[in-house]
Structure 1
Amino acid sequence: MTHFGKIKSYDSSSGTGSISPEEGGEALRFKKADLQQQGQVPKVDQRFSYATSEVDGGRKRAVNLQHQQSAGETREDQARTQHG
């Protein structure tokens, strides 16, 4: 099932972050390897689609994250995001 949320935090030095689900609930952790476009640097408040996976005894984390272009975002904005 596909979910949607916004990036809450991302630490480029550790390659980990969290995403806040649009449907509510606590933020889910993710790793850089979980990004569909690993060259992309996610930024706070960007909207992503994602799936969930259970790890560590049933705790959920976000996987297969894919950036979702917002209405006000241009292709140039997306290109800048993908290249850092």
Structure 2
Amino acid sequence: MTNYGKIKSYDSSSGTGAITPDKGGDALRFKKADLQQEGQIPKVDQRFSYETSEVDGGKKHAVNLQMEQGQREQAEKQQG
């Protein structure tokens, strides 16, 4: 099931971050490898779609993160 949320934090040095679900609840952790566009660095408040996976004994983790289409175009323009 696809969910939506906004990036709460991202640490480029460790390649980990957190996304806050639109529907509420605790922020979910993710890794750079979970991004569909690995070359894209997520920024705080960018909206992404994602799926969840249970890891570490049932903790939910965000996977298959993909930037929303309109935001992707805007990010590409900013990059040059």
Q: Give the TM-score, by structure 2 length.
A: 0.91
Given the two structures, how large is their TM-score scaled by the length of structure 1?
0.86
**Mapping for residues 60-79 of structure 1, pairs under 5 Å:** 60-70=60-70, 73=71, 75=73, 77-79=74-76
How many residue pairs get aligned? The number is: 79
Alignment CA distance shift 1:9-1:29 (3 Å): same
Identity %: 70
Structure 1 residues not aligned, in runs of 5+ = none
Give the superposition deviation at 1:79: 1.1
Q: Deviations over 1:18-56 (max 9, x none)?
A: 000000000000000000000000000000000000000
Q: 2-side partners of 1:74 and 1:3: how far apart?
A: 17
Q: Any unmatched runs of 5+ in structure 2?
A: none
Task: Tell me which stretches of 4 or more aligned residues in structure 1 moved more than 6 Å.
Answer: none
Q: Which has the higher helix share?
A: 2
